[in-house]
A and B are shown apart, each in its own frame.
Chain A
Amino acid sequence: MIAVVRFGGSNCDRDAVRALDAVGVDAEIVWHEDGLPADTEGIVIPGGFSYGDYLRAGAMAARSPVMDDVRDAAESGTPVLGICNGAQIGCEGGLTPGAFTTNRSARFQCEHVHLRVENADTPWTRAYEVGDVVEFPIAHGEGRFEIPDAELESLENENRILFRYCDADGNITDEANPNGSKGNVAGIVGDAETVAVMMPHPERAALPLLGGTDGRGVLKAFA
């Protein structure tokens, strides 16, 4: 069973369960105070505004007790995916390097973006080919990926970047960078490739009625 961890202020938890169901994965919402169920085989930290984004987006949830369980599970190889606020929580909680902070525009942005697949040899991207251009929605005010230059370089050298923001033809340009993220980075993996965070929403691109199914490939990591 995949545990979708709900905090006060999570709002993409039900979308995640429904999208996982669409790819044949059994998922349940788990209230953070209840801890992870014993039969947890994978973890989604969903989008939303946990703790009202107090202090910094994800800062409070990252230090809640359930995240100790999530870190332990991640260390023992359980797949963990942080989406949007879940990505902010993942970086704040040390699951992945870097930080997601205020968009270059200083505004909340809700739009569709193109992403280029940078590494197709991870559980999250195995459904794609390197260089594929996929379309996912974003919806965030604090999605600008920041990281010291040297650390970005090691992420690149270790092939830990999953997706970069690009134009419709797959060109990585400043114009195609919706939030000013360093290196146009939209999603990365942690020390282990079983842990991933991304600001764009694969679970909002999983049902044909909602305009596309490009996101299913990411969710298939849990299948």
Chain B
Amino acid sequence: MSAYTATVTVRLKRGVLDPEAETTKRALERLGFELEALRSTDRFEVDLDAADAEAAGERAEEMAERLLANPTIHDYDVDVAARE
């Protein structure tokens, strides 16, 4: 078994309204920043032990499918890195 950190990033599907991101964008503009668009995401860093990186990624993907993301409104991706 080796130690990994799986990073799961959950974001709204393209086309799904994100009112909090819109509000944040307007606040940045009020502060004088210029920007085209802003998207917010949730990022989960999961420390886990697995036989290899592929197994760690599969487990994290299942976590996303079953809880961390809601497939009706979310897309997600998983990155796996070795952990010291």
Task: Give A residues with C-beta under 8 Å from B.
Answer: 55-56, 59, 63, 91-92, 97-99, 101-106, 144, 146-148, 180
Contact = CB atoms under 8 A, between A and B. Distances in A.
Interface residues of B, number: 13
28 contacts: A55-B67, A63-B67, A91-B72, A97-B72, A98-B72, A99-B70, A99-B72, A99-B73, A101-B16, A101-B73, A102-B18, A102-B19, A102-B20, A103-B19, A104-B17, A105-B19, A106-B19, A106-B20, A106-B22, A106-B23, A144-B17, A146-B16, A146-B72, A146-B73, A147-B72, A148-B72, A180-B17, A180-B19
B67 A59 contact: yes
B68 interface: yes
Contacts of B22: 106
Contacts, number: 35
Interface in B46-73: 66-68, 70, 72-73
Contact of A104 (B19, B67, B73): B19
Q: Is the interface of A mostly helix, strand, loop or mixed?
A: loop
6 smallest beta-carbon distances between A and B, as pairs = A106-B19, A99-B72, A106-B23, A102-B19, A99-B73, A146-B73
Contacts of B19: 102-106, 180
Interface of B: 16-20, 22-23, 66-68, 70, 72-73
A55 B73 CA distance: 14
A97 B70 CA distance: 11
B23 A56 contact: no
B17 A55 contact: no
Nearest to A58: B70
Contacts of A146: 16, 72-73
Nearest to A144: B17
Contacts of B20: 102, 106
B17 A92 contact: no
